[in-house]
Amino acid sequence: MSTAYSYACKDCEGMEDCPGKVVAATEDEVWKLMELHAVVAHGEDPSSWDGETREYLKTLVTPE
C-alpha cells in the first residue's frame, strides 16, 4: 500500500481560483513541486517565503 501526499493550491488563502494540485510519494517531493508551481503559475520566489509562510503551507500538505 503506497502513501501519497498532496497539496491543492486552492486551499491556500487567496488562491481559491487556482486549479493547481501536486501529488507525490513524499512530503519533500510535494514541497519541490509546490515551489515550482508557485514560480511558474504565480511568479513567486519560494526563497523569499518566511518561516510563518512555510508553517502555513505545511498544514496544506496532506496525506491522501
Task: Select the residue whose beta carbon is closest to Zn ion and give its number.
Answer: 9
- Round to whole Å and give the CA distance between 48 and 62: 23
From the CA atom positions of the chain, what is the Rg in Å? Answer: 11
C-alpha distances in Å from residue 14, one per residue of 17, 37, 39, 63: 8, 15, 16, 22
4 vs 36, beta carbon nearer Zn ion? 36
Show the site string, 7-36: x = touches Zn ion by CB under 5 A, - = not: --x--------x-x----------------
Per CB under 5 A, does 41 bind Zn ion? yes
Q: How far is the CB of 10 from Zn ion (least distance, A)?
A: 8
